Amino acid sequence: MPGWLARKTVSLFPGNDFQTFKCLINLSMPLQLDTVISRNETQFLTNPVGEEIIILNMETGDYLGLNFVGSAIWEHMQTPQRISQIIEKLVAEFEVDTEKCTQETMAYLEKIKELGLLQEAG
């Protein structure tokens, strides 16, 4: 789902019973190379397993496994920094073409942003 689309969960209000109404709307702009990001650790627990990292969403019980490249990105997001800085580190670390690294990293960051794992510095 693109970052600009709304994602929402709605509970109806049958009769006079008030039920929880949740609406999560992601209207943020797509990430840019100069966007400052960091990890969102407020609702997630992480655990390294070999070269990978397992991330548990404490609210939903869902978990996600990051391969060694995803784990490297996660580690680089420990402190707020521009996406371009993270890409520079990945290019040096994995000896990958800058253009390919940029394309794949931007797509990956958009996905983890949708999952709530990434926060933009404001």
Global confidence as pTM: 0.74
Instruction: State the pLDDT at residue 106.
Output: 97
Instruction: State the pLDDT at residue 121.
Output: 85
Average of pLDDT values for 99-121? 94
What confidence tens digit (pLDDT) does each residue in 7-61 have? Answer: 333 334 444 444 433 334 445 678 999 999 999 988 899 999 998 999 999 999 9
The CATH architecture of the domain made up of 36-120 is Alpha-Beta Complex (3.90)
Q: Specify the long-range contacts of residues 31-34, CB closer than 8 Å, at least 24 apart.
A: 31/3, 31/83, 31/106, 31/109, 31/110, 31/113, 31/120, 32/83, 33/82, 33/83, 33/84, 33/87, 33/102, 33/106, 34/82, 34/83, 34/84
Average pLDDT score, the chain: 81
